[in-house]
Amino acid sequence: MIGNLILVIAGLVALIWGADRFVHGAAATARNLGVAPLLIGLTIVAFATSAPEILVSVIASLKGQPGLAFGNAIGSNIANIGLVLGCVALVRPIKLRSATLRREMPALLAVTLLTVSLFLDAYLSRIDGLVMLTGLVIVMIWLARLGIRSAPSDPIQQDYEAEIPKNVAMPNAIMWLVVGLAALLVGAHMLVQGSISIAVYFGVSDVVIGILLVALGTSLPELAVSLVSALRGEYGLAIGNIVGSNIFNLLGVIGVAATIAPIGVVQSVLSLHIFVMVAFTLVLFAMTHDYDGKSELSRIEGIALLVAFLAYDSYVVLQNVRMD
């Protein structure tokens, strides 16, 4: 058991470090190729920050554990909204001034509802997976067009301009891209192997381990990036990072898992976990709507998100302890 925990921790460390280097290398490479910073942020960085979840999804599915993959995706989306945005808003209220970001929110809601509709027959087929991956391509194209059309004065434009690496030589950018990807692959393999063993040891499903353990670990990079962005006053990045990551988690992570290994959906996913994910997404959509004229995610709203996340995770833990 201790060996498996060490394997999981080492895997998470490799994933977090690898994700940071992969994002750095990918963003620097794109900038060197002349891609606009906002376009890099909305597409390449959004995809790269979901690389840990996607690689975990691929490896888990190849090992015959696709439940770990979509448990990770669902749990990551819940953690990104409840834990990450909850903590960030608690530290510093998030001002919502980006028109680009406001256009992304309905896209996240639409993607969430599409994913839920594919879960309703309690089976994720390869066709469902291909539908999600096709949706991912469409969203990527839409985000690219959104980036091109965004006004130069949009606050998120300045945020990405400041954060996308500058003056990184192309050989160095490519080196970090490759090194980051290698670390992600090694970390994902270690994390999946350790998580499967822990699930067997405690007698819980791979879905539960994905939701509780793997999702929390793979959401740590988003927590770090969003906290730093908020403290720097880059509010568009703080929440935009989460919105983009959640879209890619649903379409990319679950889409890859279903395409590689079709699977029946366990009842707890349909009766609880999907419902909670949709609820968090709807609450975020409501909170980011400028209904009170303040255009911010307040500390009180952050506390509410954080309490709801802790209550949900505690409930899942207690339910599975009783099952043992």
- Identify the pLDDT of residue 321: 53
182-21-254 Cα angle (round to 5): 65
Work out the end-to-end distance of the chain between its first and last CA atoms, rounded to an integer number of angstroms: 17
Q: Which CATH architecture has domain 2-323?
A: Up-down Bundle (1.20)
pLDDT tens-digit readout, 279-297: 999 988 888 776 655 667 8
Domain boundaries, the chain: 2-323
pLDDT tens-digit readout, 91-113: 888 777 766 677 788 888 899 99
pTM above 0.75, yes or no: yes
Task: With H, G, I as helix, E, B as strand and everything else as coil, classify residue 264.
Answer: strand
Q: Is the pLDDT of residue 195 over 70?
A: yes
Q: Say how far apart CA 159 and CA 186 lie, in whole Å.
A: 32
pLDDT tens-digit readout, 214-248: 888 778 777 877 787 777 777 667 777 788 888 98
Q: Is the pLDDT of residue 323 over 70?
A: no
**Average pLDDT score over residue span 152-171:** 74
**What is the Cα 294 distance to its own chain's centre?**
27
The helices-and-strands tally (H runs, E runs) of the chain is 18, 4
